[in-house]
Amino acid sequence: MIYKILTLIGLATFEIYAAIPAGFAFKLSPIEIFSYSVLGGLIGVFVAAYLGDIIKKWVSGLRKTETNKVAKEPGFALKIWQKYGVIGLGLLGTMSVGAPISIGIGVGFNVPTNKMVFWCSLGVILRCALFTAIGYYGLKLF
């Protein structure tokens, strides 16, 4: 049983989309799946946030400045950032691409780490609740 729990937490640290179906495959209850997925997701948020700051400082020391940058059309993350700010990046980014990637993008946009951690943590909780409910009621249909 402990291996199932640790596997679920480990999967949720990197990708909740893989952890929740694994929890159902392990025949865990929806409350356990939700709890362990949230725990793993929050571990991923904190690791990405605080290691991201360290990595950013290290890379910025190695990077050379470029004088002539070519202007490109803004990407998906930049559009979310410009339209919704840190809340959109934390919630929408976490729901779409995952918390560690959202944290990385936030660090790249110089968002204060504590704000990014709060909104991504909230996004992880909402995402786990939503996908656990979808999985539970989806399996009830079979």
The pLDDT value recorded for residue 39 is 96
What are the residue ranges of helices labelled H in the chain?
2-14, 16-25, 30-62, 76-96, 99-108, 113-140
Contact 10, 40 (CB under 8 A): yes
The pLDDT value recorded for residue 68 is 53
Q: Pick from 22-36, 61-75, 91-105 the range whose average pLDDT is largest.
A: 22-36
Quick one: 81 exposed, middle or buried, by C-beta within 10 A (0-12, 13-18, 19+)?
buried
The pLDDT value recorded for residue 142 is 81
Supply the range of the domain harboring residue 64: 2-140
Contact 41, 16 (CB under 8 A): yes
Distance separating alpha carbons of residues 55 and 49, to the nearest angstrom: 10
The pLDDT value recorded for residue 104 is 82
Enter the DSSP assignment of 27: T
Number of folded domains that form the chain = 1
- The encoded tokens of residue 17 equal 């989309």
CB-facing half-sphere around the CA of 85: CA atoms within 13 A: 3
Contact 125, 67 (CB under 8 A): no
Instruction: Reply yes or no on whether the pLDDT at 74 is more than 80.
Output: no
* Mean per-residue pLDDT, 107-129: 89
